A and B are shown apart, each in its own frame.
Chain A
Amino acid sequence: METRQVRKITMSGRVSNESYITLFMIGVLVILFGVACVVVPRFYLPQNMINLLTNNWYTIIIGIGVTFLLITGNFDMSVGGVIAMTGVLSVYFCQDATAQQNTLAVGLGLPYGVAVALALLCAMGIGAINAFFIARLKVPSIIVTLGTMMIARGVAQIATNGAQRNTSLPDVFGVLGNFMIKGTSIKLAVLVMVFLIVIAFVFEKKTVAGRRTYLIGANSEAARLSGVNVTRHLTTLFIISSLLAGITGILLASEYKAGVSSRATGYEFDALVISLLGGVSIAGGFGSVLGMFVGAVILSVVTSSATGLLLSPDWQFTIKGVVTFIAIVAQRFALDRRKGLKTPRSTVKGLKTPRSTVKGLKTPRSTSEGSTMR
């Protein structure tokens, strides 16, 4: 008797809203891809498909941190600046200390490993500043991270006199960013991205810490009262987000063998856009890394078909903007419909919703009571 009731409860579970949105966005991706294959010459070539998945590795890596923070209800707009800062600093730390050319060629002369480690520490320092103001002093994340975005980029500019550092670097500096898997055109950075996505996916779905990320976003006060150390968790996430941006900065600097102060300008917005495209809720508590990945591919399909159609780069922003806007609106609309035509963020107004469902619920309840009685 009891087992039957148990089964009744489990089996009636639907696809979760999160999977629903991910599937929805995969559907959007398939349609966009289909259209692009027809319209854009040579779009269907396997090499192009691989490029679609791999070209955006840097946005996807920083997207991981940005996604998790969005799920907690916080923004991280500092990632672009951190990429630039880390790249420039790794170059500066590594440059020959005794170079006789101009000042931009003189660095600290540290071994490459040490230079990278130090640069990553500086990146995490930015994350720690974010965390201190946001998690501890409760300053809104958008304000703090816009500030640290400029501070980080400012550091990059000071260290490069507003330009770049690209001389007197040891050969080892260019290895990481240009390493390719034998016989393919897949870079190490892409492997790092895949690795990080897998880790993030496991973190999100399987771990307690991953679950806490959602709890904080869903209701941070309830999370605190349920024993989640919200401050500590947010601190960790902000530091990880900056670390991911730092890794991206190291890889990009290595690829170009240069620390460029204007590197990654606007990447924070790209990371935000792919998260939103992937269904992450800007109000927190909802979304997934997988969705973010799908969002990244959608964005890359759109950008590369624009390029393939020989549209001038000036048009790309507009096209990106329009597609993103339509996709996100459609996604919200689909979710609303699924939830029974109420706006997703009206949970406050939603006081009425549970009440209206009371009647619907009464029936199963009375039957379940009846069955347990017997």
Chain B
Amino acid sequence: MELTDNVLEIRDLVKDFPSVRAVNNVSFDVKRNTVHCLVGENGAGKSTLIKLLTGASARTSGSILLNGEAYTPHSPRDAKQKGISTLFQELNVVNQLTVAENLTLGMEDTTLGFLRKTDKINKMVNAMHSLEPSITPRQLVSTLSVAKKQIVEIAKAVASESDIIIMDEPTAAISESEIKRLFDIIKSLREKNVTVIYISHRLDEIFELGDYVTVMRDGKHIATKPVAEIKDRSELVKMMIGKTVFEQYTPKEGECKDTILQVKNLSNHKLNNVSFDVHQGEIVGFYGLVGAGKTELARAIYGVDAYEGEILFKERKLPPFPDKVIAAGIALVPEERRSQGLFTILTIRGNIPVMNMRKISRGGFINAAQERTVTLDYIEKLRIATSSTEKEAAQLSGGNQQKVVLAKCLFADADLLMLDEPTRGIDVGAKSEIYGIIRQLSQEGKSIMIFSSELPEVVNICDTIYLLYDGNLKATIRNGCAIDSEKVLHIVTGGNVTSGDGGGNVTSGDGGGNVTSGDGGGNVTSGDGGGNVTSGDGGGNVTSSEDGE
């Protein structure tokens, strides 16, 4: 059989969801025995594309050719049999079984339902040993590190003669040295007649590993290029974000004076020495990609996750219990709406007042009339589309569910509101309504922290933006002028913080006072005269807090 030059050809691929076209007319080729990287911002359509390739969801239209033949997988299992294996972030290994058992899982040789020892195991084990000799077949998978589990999965894919292995952020959860080992293995896969489709938010990895890169944005295919033809990160970043227009932000009148929250040297399993202040009436945004530590930061402040360091709220140390944190005046809209924010089987009335029951009760007894008034009040205020206060929250649309969660937190009468991905998965209309509410709250003197992986979101409403990468606070931007979104993306994908004036010094926002050094050695890539993240009023306003490694 003659092998085609392209192992995979994608033509006019479309995937529609009820309110959005997630993959929009995508066409590109994947060359045989290469490492093909796939990049794009959150929501660019990468995951959906992968789901179409692995048979996890069905395409709306378009075609895929695998080895020159039409390819329509019905399920991930089907895809695997046809030659496309996937290494998901949630690994597909069974911890309680041995390595050997895992290797043959799902394709055991059997006689009348009884397992039979055959050559298959040896073949698998050999494939694995050629990748990583230190893993023994009798070892329990639960004793392996995440990286080694990945290797077991890769070995399985290789031994079952997959043409393509898709890897979805394989380096997200493993250590530096393990990453190096993994990269060696990925590189060696080319000789084993395997093509790798590699997805990562860390752009450096693409330059180290990739032969080709495909950039996606807003569901569309932007470009597919040999990595060698790409000059540097910024070119890639430019392709990823395109021309983002931020026109909605209106600078705050007057200064935010009183500090309400002080976070000093916060560290935990994910965060690394994070410090910042939040002022009264300020909208603060924390921007970073998936895994940057945004949620962990919110959870640490909220008293859910353990931490070292100091968090002062209204000059008092915050106790590490959510109920006490709420009582102190902080409310959180959690990241996962359905599993952390909403009581789906309860009614809207059962949801909205729960964070401030004291307000609708006396001596522990609920005042039903007050409860109803409050619920109606918020249904009205946030325009929650429902016919009744007694409707189950599960029956609402995503946007309205999010409004219910928001209402719940607003009713808590908090002085500081933390919103983790406040507009994830909701439509444009509901989004702008929620932004309106946030702005209004800030005018009322409430402080708001927004944790988001959507740049337009933070840029549209936040007064101050902190950039997070890998648990580190990389830079601070004072909003108010044109923001250089390329620089921002450069930083949150692991690039070094650049300085404005080529002197390694980055100035802070308030007229050029405090100069914090941005050393870290040789990572000063000065931009075009004013390579600051914002071109500001008499002095760049980028504060580098943490730098490099």
Segment of A30-38, A173-181, A217-225, A315-323 engaged in the interface with chain B: A217-225
A-B contact pairs, 15 of them (CB 8 A): A211-B357, A218-B344, A218-B345, A218-B346, A219-B342, A221-B339, A222-B343, A225-B341, A226-B354, A227-B326, A229-B321, A285-B345, A347-B394, A355-B397, A372-B380
> Which residues of B369-409 are within 8 A (CB) of A?
372, 376, 379-380, 383, 385-390, 392, 394-398, 400-401, 408
Nearest CB on A from B443, distance (A): 21
- With A286-B345, A354-B395 as known contacts, state yes or no: A225 contacts B379, CB within 8 Å: no
Contact B323 A229 (CB under 8 A): yes
Question: Within the complex, which residue of A9, A347, A362 is in contact with B387, where a contact is CB–CB below 8 Å?
Answer: A9
> Which residues of B lie under 8 Å from residue A228 when comparing CB positions?
323, 354
Contact B397 A368 (CB under 8 A): no
B344's closest neighbor in chain A, by CB? A347
Contact A364 B344 (CB under 8 A): no
A367's closest neighbor in chain B, by CB? B385
Question: Within the complex, which residue of A214, A225, A347, A368 is in contact with B302, where a contact is CB–CB below 8 Å?
Answer: A225
Binary A-proximity of B347-383 (CB < 8 A = 1, otherwise 0): 1001000110110010011101000100010011001
Contact A222 B341 (CB under 8 A): yes
Question: Within the complex, which residue of B326, B327, B347, B376 is in contact with A9, where a contact is CB–CB below 8 Å?
Answer: B376
Let me know if A163 is at the binding interface, CB within 8 A: no
> Which residues of A lie under 8 Å from residue B323 when comparing CB positions?
227-229
A369 CA / B401 CA spacing, docked (Å): 17
Let me know if B334 is at the binding interface, CB within 8 A: yes
B391's closest neighbor in chain A, by CB? A13
Question: Within the complex, which residue of A211, A286, A361 is in contact with B354, where a contact is CB–CB below 8 Å?
Answer: A211
Contact B388 A208 (CB under 8 A): no
Q: Which of A13, A351, A355, A362 has most chain B Cβ within 10 Å?
A: A13
Give the A-B pair count, Cβ closer than 8 A.
139
A357 CA / B323 CA spacing, docked (Å): 34
Nearest CB on B from A318, distance (A): 34
Contact A12 B388 (CB under 8 A): yes
> Which residues of B lie under 8 Å from residue A98 when comparing CB positions?
none
A interface: dominant SS: helix
> Which residues of A lie under 8 Å from residue B400 when comparing CB positions?
361
Let me know if B196 is at the binding interface, CB within 8 A: no
> Which residues of B298-327 are within 8 A (CB) of A?
302, 304, 321-323, 326-327
Residues of A within 8 A of B (CB): 2, 5-6, 8-10, 12-14, 16-17, 206-209, 211-212, 214-215, 218-219, 221-229, 285-286, 347, 350-351, 353-355, 357-358, 361-362, 364-365, 368-369, 372
Contact A206 B365 (CB under 8 A): yes
A223 CA / B332 CA spacing, docked (Å): 12
The number of residues on chain B lying at the interface, defined by a beta carbon within 8 Å of a beta carbon of chain A, is 52
Nearest CB on A from B429, distance (A): 9
Question: Within the complex, which residue of B304, B338, B346 is in contact with A285, where a contact is CB–CB below 8 Å?
Answer: B346
Nearest CB on A from B125, distance (A): 37
A351's closest neighbor in chain B, by CB? B338
A17's closest neighbor in chain B, by CB? B392
Nearest CB on B from A258, distance (A): 40
Question: Within the complex, which residue of A14, A214, A221 is in contact with B346, where a contact is CB–CB below 8 Å?
Answer: A214
Nearest CB on B from A278, distance (A): 17
Contact A207 B343 (CB under 8 A): no
Nearest CB on A from B241, distance (A): 29
> Which residues of B lie under 8 Å from residue A9 when comparing CB positions?
376, 379, 386-389
> Which residues of A lie under 8 Å from residue B342 when comparing CB positions?
219, 222
A7's closest neighbor in chain B, by CB? B376
Binary A-proximity of B90-119 (CB < 8 A = 1, otherwise 0): 000000000000000000000000000000
B353's closest neighbor in chain A, by CB? A211
Contact B372 A10 (CB under 8 A): yes
Residues of B within 8 A of A (CB): 18-19, 302, 304, 321-323, 326-327, 332, 334, 338-347, 350, 354-355, 357-358, 361, 364-366, 368, 372, 376, 379-380, 383, 385-390, 392, 394-398, 400-401, 408, 412
Contact A14 B388 (CB under 8 A): yes
> Which residues of B lie under 8 Å from residue A219 when comparing CB positions?
339-340, 342-344
A222 CA / B336 CA spacing, docked (Å): 10
> Which residues of A lie under 8 Å from residue B347 when comparing CB positions?
16
Contact B365 A226 (CB under 8 A): no
Nearest CB on A from B324, distance (A): 9
Question: Within the complex, which residue of A14, A17, A208, A361 is in contact with B364, where a contact is CB–CB below 8 Å?
Answer: A208
Contact B343 A285 (CB under 8 A): yes
Nearest CB on B from A181, distance (A): 30
Nearest CB on A from B69, distance (A): 33
> Which residues of B lie under 8 Å from residue A215 when comparing CB positions?
343, 346, 350, 354
> Which residues of A lie under 8 Å from residue B327 when comparing CB positions?
227
Q: Which of A16, A209, A221, A365 has most chain B Cβ within 10 Å?
A: A365
Query: Beyond the given A8-B387, A222-B341, A355-B18, could you list 11 further A-B residue pairs with CB under 8 A, ordered by the A residue number?
Result: A5-B380, A9-B388, A10-B389, A17-B392, A211-B357, A211-B366, A222-B334, A225-B332, A285-B343, A353-B395, A368-B383
A365 CA / B380 CA spacing, docked (Å): 11
A275 CA / B361 CA spacing, docked (Å): 28
Q: Which of A6, A9, A211, A358 has most chain B Cβ within 10 Å?
A: A9
Contact B387 A12 (CB under 8 A): yes
Contact B366 A207 (CB under 8 A): yes
10 interchain residue pairs of minimum CB distance: A365-B385, A13-B390, A227-B326, A218-B343, A13-B388, A358-B397, A227-B323, A208-B357, A12-B387, A12-B388
A209's closest neighbor in chain B, by CB? B364
A208 CA / B367 CA spacing, docked (Å): 10
> Which residues of A lie under 8 Å from residue B340 when comparing CB positions?
219, 221-222, 225
B400's closest neighbor in chain A, by CB? A361
Nearest CB on B from A207, distance (A): 5
> Which residues of A lie under 8 Å from residue B376 when comparing CB positions?
6, 9-10
> Which residues of A lie under 8 Å from residue B396 when comparing CB positions?
354, 357, 361
A215 CA / B322 CA spacing, docked (Å): 15
Nearest CB on A from B339, distance (A): 6
Nearest CB on A from B420, distance (A): 10
A368 CA / B382 CA spacing, docked (Å): 12
